[in-house]
Amino acid sequence: MTLLDWYDVHARNLPWRVPPGAERPNDPAYPYRVWLSEVMLQQTTVTAVKPYFEKFTAIWPTVFDLAKANDEDVMAAWAGLGYYSRARNLVKCARAVAARGGFPETEAELLKLPGLGAYTAAAIASIAFGKRAVVVDANVERVMSRLFNIEEPLPRARKAIRKYADKVTPAIRAGDFAQSMMDLGSQICTNRAPRCLLCPLLNMCKGNAAGEPERLPVKPPKKAKPARSGTAYWIEREGKVWLVKRPGTGMLGGMRSLPDDGWSAQADGTGDAPIDGDMKSLGAVRHSFTHAHLTLELVRIAGEQIPAGEGEWWSVSQIEEAGLPTLFAKAARLAIA
């Protein structure tokens, strides 16, 4: 059985896909859906992405609709999905695509769009436009490392992985092949306990023949994440809480949030100075970022003084609609509880 034969039977049913072997839709919204899904899937699971994808495509059905959206609305819709620079780049890219009248079809032209890296450009070119392109994500890295028994550790191994991926990528059904590799890695050639006996490539897998496919790809040891701490402030008046907008760059950039003391996340290292009033600790929430673990103490400030700086009063009963990032959503739930 070839990999494409396997994919024809076992392909995942995903809202942004067309069935295996089907012709690509003659619909300008199709490249948009492919692009949107690939951006959302970066470092995020399919399960987490599905509801966000459906929400985005319901609110903004085409790239032209997304290009007209307010940055704040997009950031709010993205809240909870994480890696918020993706959302900022999403809007920039949508506006660039709309300005040129649609998505380009080649990797070279796609790479000129803001926020598009080599993987995303190759995925769009192959899946949305049927071009032969070498698509290498984490799943493909794992499959190639085991299939060809690549012993060199990551990230140095990526040159060899790409060479072998290029060698096996066919000229026809390039999009289906790319997706078949992703599905094989996610369903069969998994990070732990790979299901080798169900793999259509078992007989040609050098890693399996060597006896320890699970140890591939060889990864460098993980560095311990530093621990950080900070303070956020809950300022409530007449059933409304004071929210601020974070700077456009830096962590959680452009998102609504509770005012805080900076906790080394803002570009200038400064935060929102608390107003005068009685302060009471409500406890702390913990959150892990890619680079650090954060413990954020939540302090309620009581008093009648109006907070300084720019912000808005938001109904506490509708706080879930504010689009707070996960860290501050946790803090809001703690305050309400």
* Vertex 40 angle, CA 190 and 129, to 5°: 90
* Vertex 108 angle, CA 65 and 185, to 5°: 80
Q: Is residue 122 within 8 Å of 135, Cβ to Cβ?
A: yes
Residue where the block lists tokens 């938001």: 314
> Among 256, 272, 265, which Cα is nearest to 321's?
256
Enter the tokens of residue 155.
Answer: 């990230």
Q: Is residue 123 within 8 Å of 38, Cβ to Cβ?
A: yes
CA atoms within 13 A on the CB side of 239: 3
Q: Examine the residue annotation and report whether 152 is marked as an active-site residue of this protein.
A: no
- Decide the pairing of beta strands 240-245 and 312-315: antiparallel
For residue 122, give every residue at least 6 positions away whose Cβ sits within 8 Å of its Cβ, in sequence order, or none: 107, 133, 134, 135, 136, 178
Residue 171 gets which letter from DSSP? S
| Alpha-carbon distance values, 333 to 17, 130, 178, 257, 282 (Å) | 36, 46, 41, 13, 11
DSSP string covering 25-86:
PS-THHHHHHHHHHHHHTTS-HHHHHHHHHHHHHH--SHHHHHTS-HHHHHHHHTTS--THH
> Among 242, 226, 238, 239, which Cα is nearest to 299's?
242
Residue where the block lists tokens 């069935």: 19
Question: Residue 25, SS3?
Answer: coil
Q: Is residue 209 within 8 Å of 146, Cβ to Cβ?
A: no
CA distance 51 to 88: 19
Q: Which of 23, 38, 109, 214 is catalytic?
A: 38
> Among 123, 165, 125, which Cα is nearest to 141's?
165
Which residues does the annotation mark as catalytic? 38
